[in-house]
């Protein structure tokens, strides 16, 4: 995605940009979308692309595998995918259902505002839109309250805020210290696109160097692309074909 550097003029304060973006994100948080997702994993042995339909299943997102390297699933894999989805549907229909997700958090805008020194570094054009570029460095001398904060503070952030709508439309996270096994130089880039009136993720690019248990080391890339987004308006169990 080309980025054109412009001359800085009448820049707002970084806190003002964060406050506007947080309010904008909250305003659209209740909207739910179905979409298609490509996940490409790149390693030394080669790359694989899995394509998923991300649909609403009993009120929550569900990722259903539909293609591998652009090809339909064989009968055995398709049967397993269908069985897994029906098991999930049945589990979600139970009154006691609670979703449990295991994720590696990189922090939201409020976390960055709280833990980082942020400054407006200039104006740039990103995806054809004028933005303010903000650079965020971990605050000097700050003591992390927990392991999660400690991991956040092992990174440096660059964010781009849309000048017209105030929302953040791109973020680059660079690891400058080891965190959860991810080594310095690992980086995650997230870009957003506008769907109707809502800004949604368009791509994730994660380039990593991972070390775990001293003897385990891995390098690779994971690329996510989101497309065919459609606003989900009513509760339904229909599966897009």
Rounded to 5 degrees, φ, ψ at 83 are -65, -40
What is the rounded distance in angstroms from the CA atom of residue 192 to the CA atom of residue 21? Answer: 13
The pLDDT value given to residue 58:
83
Does the pLDDT value for residue 18 go beyond 50? Answer: yes
The pLDDT value given to residue 5:
52
Segment 157-216, tens digit of pLDDT: 999 999 999 999 999 999 999 998 999 999 999 999 998 889 999 999 999 998 876 667
pLDDT, mean of residues 4-31: 82
The pLDDT value given to residue 106:
67
The pLDDT value given to residue 241:
41
Does the pLDDT value for residue 236 go beyond 60? Answer: no
What is the rounded distance in angstroms from the CA atom of residue 188 to the CA atom of residue 206? Answer: 4
The pLDDT value given to residue 96:
58
- Where are the extended beta strands (E) located within the chain? 3-6, 32-43, 46-57, 60-68, 71-72, 116-126, 129-138, 155-162, 168-175, 187-195, 198-212, 216-232
User: In what side-by-side order are the strands of the sheet with 129-138?
Assistant: 3-6, 116-126, 129-138, 155-162, 168-175, 187-195, 198-212, 216-232, 32-43, 46-57, 60-68, 71-72
- Contact call for residues 63 and 31 (beta carbons, < 8 A): no
Does the pLDDT value for residue 235 go beyond 70? Answer: no
pLDDT, mean of residues 117-125: 97
Does the pLDDT value for residue 238 go beyond 50? Answer: no
The pLDDT value given to residue 57:
87
- Rounded to 5 degrees, what angle do the CA atoms 9, 10, 11 make? 95
H helices of the chain, in order, are: 14-28, 75-93, 109-115, 147-152
What is the rounded distance in angstroms from the CA atom of residue 125 to the CA atom of residue 211? Answer: 36
Q: How confident is the model at residue 152 (pLDDT cuts 50, 70, 90)?
A: very high
- The pLDDT mean for the chain works out to 88
Of the candidates 199, 126, 190, 191, the one whose C-alpha atom is nearest the C-alpha of residue 167 is 199
The pLDDT value given to residue 8:
47
Would you kindly state where each structural domain of the chain is located, as residue ranges? Answer: 3-46+109-232
Sequence-distant (6+) residues with CB within 8 A of 160 are 124, 126, 131, 132, 133, 134, 168, 169, 170, 171
Segment 29-86, tens digit of pLDDT: 878 889 999 999 998 788 999 999 999 888 788 999 999 999 999 999 999 999 999 9
The pLDDT value given to residue 197:
87
């Amino acid at each position: 995605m080309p980025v054109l550097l412009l001359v800085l003029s009448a820049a707002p304060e970084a806190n003002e940009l964060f406050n506007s973006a947080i309010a904008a994100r909250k305003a659209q948080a209740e909207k739910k979308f179905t979409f298609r997702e490509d996940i490409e994993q790149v390693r030394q042995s080669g790359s694989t692309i899995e394509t998923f339909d991300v649909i609403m299943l009993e009120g929550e997102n569900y990722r259903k595998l539909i293609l591998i390297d652009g090809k339909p699933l064989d009968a055995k894999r398709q049967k397993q995918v269908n069985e897994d989805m029906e098991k999930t549907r049945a589990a979600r229909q139970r009154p006691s259902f609670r979703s449990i997700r295991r994720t590696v958090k990189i922090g939201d805008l409020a976390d960055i505002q709280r833990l980082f020194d942020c400054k407006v570094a200039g104006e740039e054009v990103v995806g054809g839109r004028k933005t303010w570029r903000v650079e965020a460095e971990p605050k000097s001398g700050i003591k992390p309250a927990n392991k999660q904060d400690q991991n956040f503070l092992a990174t440096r952030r660059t964010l781009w805020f849309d000048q017209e709508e105030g929302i953040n439309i791109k973020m680059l996270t660079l690891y400058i210290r080891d965190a959860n096994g991810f080594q310095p130089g690992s980086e995650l880039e997230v870009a957003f696109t506008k769907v109707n009136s809502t800004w949604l993720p368009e791509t994730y690019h994660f380039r990593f160097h991972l070390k775990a248990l001293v003897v385990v080391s891995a390098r690779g890339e994971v690329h996510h692309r989101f497309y065919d987004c459609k606003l989900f308006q009513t509760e339904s169990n229909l599966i897009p074909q």
